[in-house]
Amino acid sequence: MIKWFLSIFFVFSIITAGQYGFLRNPAISPDGNTIVFSYSSDLWQVSSAGGTAFRITGMDGDEDYPSFSPDGKYLAFSSNQDGNYNIYMVPAEGGEIRQLTWNDANDYVETWNWSSQNIYFSSGRENMISTFMVPAEGGTPKRLFSPGHFFNLPHNISINPADGTFLFNESWESFRFDNRKRYKGPFNPDIKSYDLKTGDYRKLTDWEGKDMWPEFDKSGNLYFVSDRYNEEFNLYRLKEGKAERLTGFQTSLRRPSVSAEGNKIVFEKDYRIFIYDTGSGKSKPVNINLFDNKVLPLETKFETSGEITYFDISPMVKKSPSFPEADYLFQIKRENLLMSLTRSQKKELPKRFG
């Protein structure tokens, strides 16, 4: 068996544009004009009206779970460039990326406080999952509701702008199995609230299925996701203690992000990003184009056993280019050693070195 290893110094990128799927975990800016989402291991930014998105991170690992600060100045996110997810932040207009947590467990950004000074994140650093706070200026993370609390798995945190009350879920069904539909049982997640100052605890919903992902706008309007309508996850608003359905999708939505101004809500549905206008009460997909860089890896392995039909020696370099009767052909240009690759459905005649 002959194995060819090609070290490709320069490769011309194949640029494609079009409507993409598998866009995940969108976050919307406070004014509702900008969306940041995760795709192809990086974070991308696009207008909430749609259009061409551009890449805003390019770290070694995956970047995910973006969240805008309420003042719109910063973007927090999680990245696993060191092996596990830690918390990072970057100016929303671009600039230096700062790392805020260093831990062996995974840290997932959830939200900010309304003064844009603290970032709340879920982490498994002390148990399966709990919520922690780290100052945006840096410092030691602190566990929420600790010490002396009775909430074992708080996550999906949102903060009431009026009184600072924390809303959350507390079930593995809304953490590990948030994609599982039609669950009804003792571990169904409800929306709960707790006031750190007064110790007041309340359960705001009591649906037998799943109520998840509470989100406030700055006026105190509370939105969440529930499967109470048709056993698919749809968007709701909690108004005067009653759940008001806002969407009636036949396929489930995930992870809503509400603008601080309260005018727009973005969410993931059918592997695409949708936006809900709170004024009109209408939802629509956000048409997003991506210019994706389709590059070959720096080292590419070719299996050519039994496929070689031509062989020649370059007079300038001691290399042996071969032309198998396969999809990929390559040649070495004797002046700049630039590798080129072509794909064809028919046999191409090899080019001899001159």
d(CA 233, CA 223): 13
Closest CA to 59 of 22, 85, 25, 28: 85
Across 207-213, average pLDDT = 96
Per-residue pLDDT at 214 exceeds 70 = yes
Lookup result for tokens 């409800």 = 190
pTM above 0.95, yes or no: no
Across 251-260, average pLDDT = 97
Across 187-214, average pLDDT = 95
Using left for φ > 0, alpha for ψ between -120 and 50, and beta otherwise, residue 41 falls in left
For strands 98-99 and 86-91, give the pairing. antiparallel
> DSSP secondary structure string, 10-44?
----EEE-SB----EEEEE-TTS-EEEEEETTEEE
Indicate the burial class of 299 (C-beta count within 10 angstroms; 0-12, 13-18, 19 or more): exposed
The vertex-170 CA angle with 127 and 179, nearest 5°, equals 95
Three-state SS at 178? coil
Which comes out higher in pLDDT, residue 294 or 32?
32
Per-residue pLDDT at 9 exceeds 60 = no
Lookup result for tokens 């004024």 = 279
Lookup result for tokens 């598998």 = 22
Per-residue pLDDT at 11 exceeds 80 = no
Per-residue pLDDT at 346 exceeds 70 = no
Per-residue pLDDT at 312 exceeds 90 = no
d(CA 351, CA 321): 10
Q: Which residues pair with 86 in a beta bridge?
A: 79
Distances (CA, A) of 114 to 59, 245, 258, 285: 28, 26, 13, 29
Closest CA to 269 of 223, 227, 234: 234
Per-residue pLDDT at 319 exceeds 90 = no
Which comes out higher in pLDDT, residue 14 or 157?
157
Mean pLDDT (the chain) is 84
Per-residue pLDDT at 340 exceeds 60 = no
Tokens of 290: 């991506």
Segment 99-151, tens digit of pLDDT: 999 999 999 999 999 999 999 999 999 888 999 999 999 999 999 987 766 78
